[in-house]
Amino acid sequence: MNTAFCLPAIDDFHRTLNGKNTHLFILRNRAGMQIAISDYGARLVSALVPNKYGDLIDVVLGFDSIQKYWNADEQYHGATIGRFANRIADGKFSLNGKEYRLPQNNGSSCLHGGPNSFHTRVWDRQVIYNANKIMFYLVSEDMDNGFPGNVKTIVSYELTDQNEIIINFRVSSDKPTPINLTNHAYFNLNGEGNGDVLEHQLKIDAPTFIEIDERQIPTGNQLSVKNTPFDFSSYTKIGDAINDQSLQLQYAGGYDHSFVCNKGIEECSASAYSENSGIQLNVYTTYPTVHLYTGNFLAGDIGKSGQAYGKYSGFCLEAQHFLDNPNQPSFPKSILNPGEAYSHTIKYKFCIKK
């Protein structure tokens, strides 16, 4: 078990990709918390959070050099996901009478915007150190991975003195286009590399979750969580029912499901807690759903602490719009039109559970 955590070395993130230089940026607050963020994928690399003993532990899975991010089997660690988080069925959608075809990079689906998408780009940036804030900028050109519109995206990270990481997404487009951005951080509240997260307690304030089929595409149905392995209405261990014979869990190899919360930024949508460390993570968001993923397909990449990230080594709580909504008649759409402003926020708040 790793008991001494530190941030990666800044120099190990100074490289060049496609003619653009990559960097690592460090933000610190007055409470002692520290986070590291890279312009490669506008991603969260580390979050050093005090545990119940006052020791700082890194609760975000990731790597200690940019080269390891490039070489990893899992490409999404901590990254900004776009243009469209999660799956779009059959790699296509129709909009205003025209069909658009996307890369199929997850079976027949387009996953997380396709290959070489937002998580693989080097973003432009501006650091505002006196406000503990960094802003990343990216222009995605018309028909990038098959999506219409020249899309301008700003992603900001702010570290507050209340041990909050506030992530805001702002997007504009010159053509109608589906947009669904999220952050793909994997968390382990015992510290990255310190075993699996099956003993973590999880609470999700959602009456329903989205049913999926064997391709992990939504059926269009929302199912009640009551009397199912998806009932996290009170604190429940992640591992309590993860091996249940439910078809929903079998389709995904664990939890890889969206919960319909619709709480708004002032109310907590989801909360996780480790008795081992005492650290509690609360998630607040303007998005309507929180997607729980339990690292079912993590394949053994060696992380910052030198430990392998195997199955269930981390969990994601990805706040986002309804998955595959361009193809789902009953789901709210997330189509951005010219002149409209897309603005959504995810807040990760860390504290010690009383």
**Catalytic machinery residues:** 184, 318
Residues in contact with 323: Cβ distance below 8 Å, sequence separation at least 6, in sequence order: 85, 86, 87, 180, 210, 218, 258, 289, 291
| CA pair distance 275, 283, nearest whole angstrom | 18
Q: Is the peptide bond before 83 cis (omega within 30 degrees of 0)?
A: yes
Measure Cα distances from 2 to 128, 332, 341 in Å.
32, 44, 44
Q: Which residues pair with 210 in a beta bridge?
A: 222
- Report the candidate in 41, 36, 29, 44 with the shortest Cα–Cα distance to residue 10: 36
Residue 268 bridge partners (DSSP): 284
Spatial distance between the Cα atoms of 248 and 210, rounded to a whole number of angstroms:
10
d(CA 190, CA 280): 10
Q: Quick one: three-class SS letters along 145-179?
A: CCECCCEEEEEEEEECCCCEEEEEEEEEECCCEEC
What DSSP element (H or E) covers 70? Answer: helix 66-71
20-21 and 24-28 beta bridge pairing: unpaired
